[in-house]
Amino acid sequence: MLQLSHMERARLKWGLIFISPWILGFLLFLLYPMLASMYYSFTDYDVLRPPRWVGLGNYVRFFTKDNLAFTCIYNTLYFATFSVPLNILVAVVLSLLLNARVKGLAVFRAIFFIPSIVPVVSTAILWVWLFNTRNGLFNMALRAIGFQGVGWLTDPAWAKPSMIIMTLWGVGGTVIIYLAGLQDIPGQLYEAATIDGAGAWQQITKITIPLLTPQIFFHLVMGVIGAFQVFTQAFIMGSLGGGALGMGSEAGPANALLFYSFYLYLNAFRFFRMGYASAMAWVLFAITLMCTLVILRSSRRWVFYGGA
C-alpha cells in the first residue's frame, strides 16, 4: 500500500477540498440524473405516481408501437445529413476568403462572427420573420423578381430546408477555428507548390484542405452531436411559423419539425411520460455514440495531422 508523507497527505486533503465543489456538482447534477434516467427508462413513471417496473416495455413501444418514432428519427437524420456538411463547406469557404490579405479584413471577420454570439432564441425569431409566407423578406424578394413566394415554414417540403438554411447564419464561430488552422499552415508549402507550377485550385485541394482536416474532423463530430440535439430552433420556428398538425403547432406542418429532442421534450414535460422519455434519451445516446464512433474510425483514412 502506498505510504504518503505528512506533507503529501496535507496536499491531498487541500486538493480534495478545493475540487469538492466540482465533485459534488458532478455527483448531484450529472451522475445521479444519468443513473436515475436509466432506472426510469425501465419503468412507467408519470411524476405523480411512484414508478412501476415495466422492463424493456418503453424501448419496445418506441421501436414497434410509436407512430411518431420514425418521423422524429427521420427528421433528425435528414437535418444532420444536410446541415452538417453544408455548415462545414460554408465555413471553409468563408475562412479561405477571410484569410486573404485585403483592406478592412478585421471588419469582415467581425461581421461574420457576430451572428454566432446572438442568442439562439433571438436568431430563431429573426428567421421566422424572414421566412414569413406573406410579409417575409425572402418571399418579398422572390415576388419582386417575378417568382411565387415559398411556404418556408408552412410547407412540409420546405420546413426542414428552412431550418438548415438558418443554421448557416451561425457559422462564424467555426470560421474562427478554420482561420486558426489556416494560420498554422507553413507558407513554404505554398511557395514550393507555386514553383512547381500548381495553380490556386491545386494548392487548395492538395495543401489547404488536407491540412485543415483536423479542424474539419472536430467540426464534423461536434456538428453531428449538436444536430441530434437540436431543439430550440425547431420549437420556436414551428410554434411561430404557424404549422397546424396533430402534435400542435410547435411541430411544424405535418410534423416536419418534430425533431428527436423536441419529441422527447413533449413526452417528458407535455405528456409526463418520464419513463418513456428516459428510454428515448438513452436511445438517442446510443445513436449519437454509434455515429461518433463511425466518424472516429473513418478519420484514420482522411484526417491528416502535419508531421504525423
- What span, in angstroms and rounded, lies between the C-alpha atoms of 222 and 173? 13
pTM of the model: 0.88
Over the stretch 194-232, which tens digit does the pLDDT of each residue have? 998 989 899 999 999 999 999 999 999 999 999 999 999
- What span, in angstroms and rounded, lies between the C-alpha atoms of 3 and 150? 74
Provide the pLDDT for residue 237.
86
Over the stretch 172-195, which tens digit does the pLDDT of each residue have? 889 999 999 998 889 899 999 999
The CATH number of domain 59-302 is 1.10.3720.10: yes
Of 82, 50, 258, 252, nearest to 165 by C-alpha is 82
Break the chain into its structural domains and give their ranges. Answer: 6-53, 59-302
Over the stretch 240-295, which tens digit does the pLDDT of each residue have? 765 433 344 567 788 889 999 999 999 999 999 999 999 999 999 999 999 999 99
